[in-house]
């Protein structure tokens, strides 16, 4: 079953970063598969904590997703 509700993808890095580009590609594929609108927002700052806090306080309906990256070590 596919939803037609809007999905929000929150990116914890600045626009143009590799994570942002990947989130754009994934969002386009999600929209094509689910036929629903996928909105992408960049909320950079504090090492991704601003975006994480935003998603943590979003309604628990499954329509707000966090897209981030892990540091390489």
Top pLDDT among 35 and 67 is at: 67
Average pLDDT over every residue of 39-56: 94
Write down the pLDDT at residue 21.
Answer: 94
19-28 confidence digits (pLDDT tens): 999 999 998 8
Closest to 63 measured CA to CA, from 22, 12, 3: 3
- Report residue 5 as tokens: 């509700």
How far is 29 from 13, CA to CA, in rounded Å?
20
H-run or E-run covering 28: helix 18-34
pLDDT band with cut points at 50, 70 and 90 for residue 3: low
Kindly provide the b/e burial profile for residues 46-70, where b requires at least 16 CB atoms within 10 angstroms of the residue's own CB. eebeebbebbeeeeeeebbbbbeee
């Amino acid at each position: 079953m596919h939803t037609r509700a809007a999905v929000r993808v929150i990116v914890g890095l600045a626009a143009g970063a590799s994570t942002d580009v990947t989130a754009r590609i994934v969002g386009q594929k999600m929209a094509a598969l689910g036929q629903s609108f996928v909105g992408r927002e960049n909320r950079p700052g504090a090492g991704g904590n601003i975006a994480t806090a935003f998603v943590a306080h979003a309604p628990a309906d499954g329509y707000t997703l966090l897209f981030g990256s892990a540091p390489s070590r």
